[in-house]
Each structure stands twice: as C-alpha cells, then as structure tokens.
Structure 1
Amino acid sequence: MNPLRLFWGWKPRKIECFRAPNQSVKQLPILEKRKIQAEVLGPVFREMVEQVGSEKAASILKEAIRKAAIEEGKHFREKADASLSTMDQFVELMELWKAGGALEMEVLQQSDTRFDFNVNRCRYAEMYREMGLQEIGHLLSCNRDGSFCEGFDPKLKLVRKQTLIEGADFCTFRYTLDSENKDKNL
C-alpha cells in the first residue's frame, strides 16, 4: 500500500497536461507550430552562437531542420490520398501552409509535372521579424520547403531564387516532378 495514501488519504490520479479540447499539436495550423518552434529554437540558437559561433550554430540548425523536414515529408506522403497523382497530392497540402491567411500566393502554372507560384505575403516571415528572429527565419521555414520534397517524393524538386524574408518583393516557388515514372507512388 502507498504510504502517502495511509498518511494523507492520497490516491494516485491521472494527471493530464493542458491542451485545447480535442486538439493535438499535429492539428495546429502550421503557422502556430512554427511560432512555438521559434519560441524554443530562438534561445537555443542564441546559446549555440555563444558556444560555437554563428556559422557553426546556423549549420547545426539548418541540418536539424532539413532532417526534420524530410521526415515530415515522408509522413505526409504516407497520409496522402493514393487516388491522386503525386503533384495533386502535393498541391493539396498547400492548404495546410496557407491556413489562416499565412500565405498570399499567385499560382502561375499547375500540371502533373509543375507547380509554380509566387508568394506575395508571408506571415511566417512577418512573424520571425516580429520575434526578432529574421536572421534564422529562413532556416526555420524556407529551408524546409526543398527538404520536405525529398521525403515526400525524391523526384519532386524545388527551385527558389528569392524570398521575402531575405528582402525580395516576393518568394518564387518552382516545383517540378521528374516526368519519368511521375505517376508511380513511392
């Protein structure tokens, strides 16, 4: 018998951490997830800069985020609607990144092998600036985009020549799917 129960009449109870009703972290809008991650990683990054210097700290953060994005891409691919083409599965995911007005984008081209668009407003970039994390915002979010493709489908490639967070007027996103075996799902 538990000695605390004898002495104080204490009974073990299940303790639950606070969480919004019926909402897991996976259900949060991606913008909110990135904010939570930035609140943790910002101070960690600053400490790494003090310990190992800014170049090494940025390299460590970049590689950690890259690996996480690849795994996230694999996870999303496993959950994707198998009846859709690879590019349609990917395009469908854009709604997650746009949720809550996080991105204002202009689609330029969409086909089975291409998805080209520009982002004219990015609340991710705005959020990092407001948090004083502009110097690593591209590592925390922009860096994920191409790496996510590696996990989602290695034949899916991103070319991006400019971003808002780095001072451009808009972000360029040019996704291509290698046309060889394009309809085969991995």
Structure 2
Amino acid sequence: MTGVLDDYLIDPEVSLLDKTRMQAQVLLPVLRALRAELGKERADAVVKQALRDWSKQLFAAIADGIEGSPRRKWAAIQKVFGEISGREVAFEIRHHDESALDIDVTRCRFAEFFRALGEPELGALLICAADFDIAAIGAGTVDLERAQTIMQGAPSCTFRYRFAPR
C-alpha cells in the first residue's frame, strides 16, 4: 500500500515538505504576477479555485485505484498521507475509537514555512485543504471538522474525525 500516493508524491524519496517547497517556488511568482495583473482578491480567488479543483481531482483519482468501500479507501489514503505528513508535524491523539478520531497537531513545519514566506493562505490551500479532500473519499462514512489550524495562527490544528457506524 506504500505506492498509494505515488501519483501525488511523484518521487517518494522527496519529502512532502520539500515537494511543497518546490511547488511554492513555482506558484509564488505566478500568484504574485496574477495579483499584479488582476488584483489580490481576484488573483487569490482564481488560484484558490484551481488548487482546490486539482486537489479534489487528484485524491478522487487516487481513491479510484483502491479496492473496497469508501471508508476503506479513506483509511488507505489517510494512513499513507499521515505517515508522510507526520514526519513534518508533532501531534497528539486525543481520542480514538470506532466512532471518532481526535488529533491535535501541536507543531507544523508546513505552517512555519508558509508563515515565513508571508503566504499562509497558499499553505492552507496546498496542505490543509487536502485533509478535507481525503476525508471526502469516505463518502458519508467519514466526516472531518477542524476548528483551527496553526497555518491560520492558532496554537494547534484540531482534527475531529467522525465515523458512521459500520
């Protein structure tokens, strides 16, 4: 199952943080040029829509390659994505049973990187929003709520997964 995210990672030897840094090297000049041409609000809206569409399509395509129920597809992607992103965050599991999984991320190197660039919104689009696209793979069997993120300036990211009865 380690190859589940190969289409996303492209080169599994490159860390997710390094991949994100490479994406930012390309996206930031494009974003800044669009802001100069269209204005910040319009440019940010165009980039947000493009990145959201890309992420949703990417994770849906990854899920299509996994056998089983929506919950199993979510679990497979979540496991691998958690292992990969977990190298860059510190977290605590607050609660875990058949109906819920509560995780608090207490340090995030992705947030540190994007906040240092002065572009936490871009970081939220590239990293934070993917969590919801992965949860959507669960198609009604997995729900994610997150009240706050470090990327947005909070002291922690609150992941609150709820699972439908099996």
TM range (shorter): 0.7 to 0.9
Aligned-pair Cα RMSD in Å: 2.5
SS at match of 1:153: coil
Residues 81 and 97 of structure 1, relative CA distance in 2, 3 Å threshold: farther
Task: Tell me which protein shows more helix as a share of its residues.
Answer: 2
Structure 2: stretches of 5+ with no match in the other structure: 1-8
1:2-41, aligned counterparts within 5 Å? 25-27=10-12, 28-41=14-27
2:107 counterpart of 1:128: no
Partner amino acid, structure 1, of 2:62: F
Uncovered stretches (5+) of structure 1, i.e. residues with no partner: 1-23
Q: Does 1:51 align with 2:37?
A: yes
Please identify the structure whose Cα radius of gyration is greater.
1
Q: How far apart, CA to CA, are the structure 2 residues paired with 1:78 and 1:112? A: 25
Q: Is the 8 A contact 1:61 1:139 kept in 2?
A: no
Equivalent residue number for residue 48 of structure 2: 62
Match of 1:92 in 2: 79
Contact preservation (8 Å) 1:158, 1:174: yes
Partner deviation per Cα, 1:160-186 (whole Å, 9 max, x = no partner): 11111211110111122333xx5xxxx
Aligned CA distance change for structure 1 residues 78 and 112 (closer, same or farther; 3 Å): farther
Aligned length: 154
Identity %: 29
Q: 1:77 to 1:135 in 2, by over 3 A?
A: closer
Give the structure-2-normalised TM-score: 0.78
C-alpha separation in 1, matches of 2:159 and 2:84: 16
Partner of 1:139: 125
Scaled by the length of structure 1, the TM-score of the pair is: 0.71
